[in-house]
Amino acid sequence: MHVHFSDPATSPRWAWTGGLAALGQQEFAVPLAWPEPDERDVIVERMLHFIGHYVMQQPRRIIAGETFTYGWTMLRMRVGDAGTPGANRLVIQEWTTPLRGGAHEYADGIARAVRLRQAQDDVMRRNRLTGGGDYPHCTAYAIICKKLSPLAPWPVEIFAHRLPHDQAGDSGWFIGCVDDDHDHDDPDQLGRVHLLHLVEHCPRLFPYLAAPDETQVAFEAEKTIVFPPDAQTGEEDDAPFFMGLDELAFGG
């Protein structure tokens, strides 16, 4: 399978797959929101290869109207319009508000999905977290200290630790308070909450959620400290806040 990009002089730019038709799969296409090639094209290419690899591993084919989980968000396929690069291909759409709960609407393109992936990849690059990211879907759950209800304000300081996980839907994340007198080994003091609800309540969690197992993150009032796996000490993240989160979450 190959990924093709339209001439930068055309507007809007598109990317599409080639080679899946030989497997009986209608090719995929996606419009790009940025006019010039840049590092986002690499994420688009990886995404299309990811979908292509999925097709190759499955006996059935993806058709119009079906949805496809991609990292945090969800994609949907529609029939492409005649007279566009999407003609005779399945055009990829994405959630318009991937960081908000409730009913989701779709729009052509994957600009938001790319922004989400960039934010999480940047955390791993800045903090030298090696081994590749593990990108949980927003419906995966975390174990959370009951002092951190998503329905009430949180304390200024919280602590996050990603534990090894292999059960479906388990993100591996534990989110707790820093009260030394609170017993986090007591199951009665813990609960399970979907990641989306946690991110709605505390957006600064989001970029760290793809970090590898045994990563720990301490969130303080004015800084965020990251402890890589097996590290005895942590280092302050020099760009800890996800800029543009509100615009992305609310469809701006």
What pLDDT, on a 0 to 100 scale, did the predictor assign at position 250? 43
Q: Which regions of 60-207 does DSSP assign to beta strands (E)?
A: 67-70, 73-79, 90-95, 106-108, 141-145, 158-162, 170-176, 190-194
Average pLDDT of 31-39?
Answer: 91
Length of the chain: 252
Considering Cα of 60, then 64, then 67, then 71, what sign does the dihedral take?
A: positive
Mean confidence (pLDDT) of the chain: 89
* Secondary structure class of 171 (helix, strand, coil): strand
CA diameter of the chain: 65
What proportion of the chain, given as a percentage, has pLDDT over 70? Answer: 95
pLDDT digits (tens, 9 = 90+) for 60-117: 999 999 999 999 999 999 999 999 999 999 999 999 999 888 889 999 999 999 999 9
Q: Is the pLDDT of residue 203 over 80?
A: yes
Question: Can you tell me the distance from the alpha carbon of 162 to that of 146, in angstroms, rounded to the nearest whole number?
Answer: 18
Q: How confident is the model at residue 137 (pLDDT cuts 50, 70, 90)?
A: very high
Q: Please tell me which residue, 56 or 201, carries the higher pLDDT value.
A: 56
- Give the DSSP H/E element, type plus range, for residue 44: helix 40-57
Q: How confident is the model at residue 8 (pLDDT cuts 50, 70, 90)?
A: confident
**Do residues 228 and 150 make contact, with C-beta atoms less than 8 angstroms apart?**
no
Q: Is the pLDDT of residue 252 over 70?
A: no
> Which ranges of 106-193 does DSSP label H, i.e. alpha helix?
111-126
Tokens 């938001």 label which residue? Answer: 112
Q: Is the pLDDT of residue 59 over 50?
A: yes
- The letter for the amino acid at 207 is P
- Give the DSSP H/E element, type plus range, for residue 14: strand 13-18
- The letter for the amino acid at 124 is M
Average pLDDT of 152-161?
Answer: 85
Q: Is the pLDDT of residue 251 over 50?
A: no
Average pLDDT of 184-206?
Answer: 88
Q: How confident is the model at residue 221 (pLDDT cuts 50, 70, 90)?
A: confident
Average pLDDT of 164-187?
Answer: 87
* Secondary structure class of 29 (helix, strand, coil): strand
Question: Can you tell me the distance from the alpha carbon of 49 to that of 41, in angstroms, rounded to the nearest whole number?
Answer: 12
Q: Is the pLDDT of residue 152 over 80?
A: no
Q: Is the pLDDT of residue 43 over 90?
A: yes
Q: Is the pLDDT of residue 243 over 80?
A: no
* Secondary structure class of 83 (helix, strand, coil): coil
